[in-house]
Amino acid sequence: MALSVEKVSHAYGARQALQDVSFTIAPGSFAVLLGLNGAGKSTLFSLITHLYATRSGRVRIFGHDIGRTPSEALRLLGVVFQSRTLDLDLTVLQNLVYHAALHGIGRRAARERAQQVLARVRLVDRAADKVRNLSGGQMRRVEIARSLLHGPRLLLLDEPTVGLDIKARADILAHVRELVAEDGVSVLWATHLIDEIAEEDQLVVLHQGRLLAHGPAMQVVAGTGAPDIGGAFARLAGIDKVPAFDGLA
């Protein structure tokens, strides 16, 4: 499996953020981690990326236990966090070369890889531009390019379209789906937006720290008897309807 999460729990003092969460992501698949704000998605990502130590349960990336062999596991992982982390006063290329150095990639190889990943996200022509001169969607594409520099096999994206307009959101989602279809990268895409889920996606539903469902999106919908994904989520979570976010239902 590309990702295996087994009975993972996590608490902040007395507050239980995750409770016995278990699911798997198959290699070369696009999986959506769906949950409202506060569901525990970012906490789960922090455990998968080893920002937090896993005290209860196990996380494995292509068979490597993140707690026992973190270097081997993280070598296969690329991450795009919700918060922007690019240096606005450096150029796109400088940001990528600096990040590559953190992975032990030499300067010449870093520049070559930077050109390759920028081509992958269609931003080669902006390599010499300072990041502050890019649009929000372009910044996200640079962050995706940066996450690909070391050749990961699993890509995690935590609410990557937050704050973007509808077109930019669609472009980012299309770019990541292309990575799955053309390069065989496995993806776990965290979101609270129903319209970012396709019928063929794998779906992991998280609510108040608990896993409510896991499987092909249409199978999850069928299991609830709801007419669509939004209705299925509402039934699983025990709420009247899915709240509107960013102007979308």
pLDDT in tens, 11-48: 999 999 999 999 999 999 999 999 998 899 999 999 99
Tell me what pLDDT residue 226 has: 92
- Amino acid, res. 26: A
Between 238 and 132, where is the model more confident?
Answer: 132
Q: How far apart are the first and last CA of the chain?
A: 33
Same domain for 205 and 222?
A: yes
What does DSSP say about strands 30-34 and 186-191: parallel, antiparallel, or unpaired? parallel
pLDDT of residue 165: 87
What pLDDT was estimated at residue 162? 86
Phi, psi of 233 (to 5 degrees): -65, -40
In this structure, the answer to whether residues 166 and 243 fall within a common structural domain is yes
Give the number of domains in the chain: 2
Q: What percent of the chain lies above the pLDDT cut of 70? A: 96
Contact 60, 73 (CB under 8 A): yes
Of 151, 172, 191, the residue at which a domain comes to its end is 151
What is the amino acid identity at position 72?
E
Residues 106 and 228 in one domain: no
Query: Average of pLDDT values for 125-134?
Result: 96
Any residues with CB less than 8 A from the CB of 20 and at least 6 apart, and which? 7, 8, 9, 57, 210, 211
The reply to whether 125 and 166 lie within a common domain is: no
Q: Are 228 and 239 contained in the same domain?
A: yes
What's the pLDDT tens digit per position in 53-88?
988 999 999 999 999 999 999 999 999 988 888 999
pLDDT for 101 beyond 60: yes
Domain CATH number, residue 176: 3.40.50.300
For residue 242, the model assigns a pLDDT of 64
**Strands in the chain per DSSP E:** 3-12, 15-25, 30-34, 56-61, 64-65, 77-80, 154-158, 186-191, 202-207, 210-216
Same domain? 61 vs 23:
yes
Which of 105, 132, 151 is a domain's end point? 151
Range of the domain at 226: 1-76+152-249
What pLDDT is attached to residue 82?
84
Residues 179 and 135 reside in one and the same domain: no
The reported pLDDT for the residue numbered 91 is: 97
Compute φ and ψ for 38, nearest 5 degrees: 90, 5
pTM of the model: 0.90
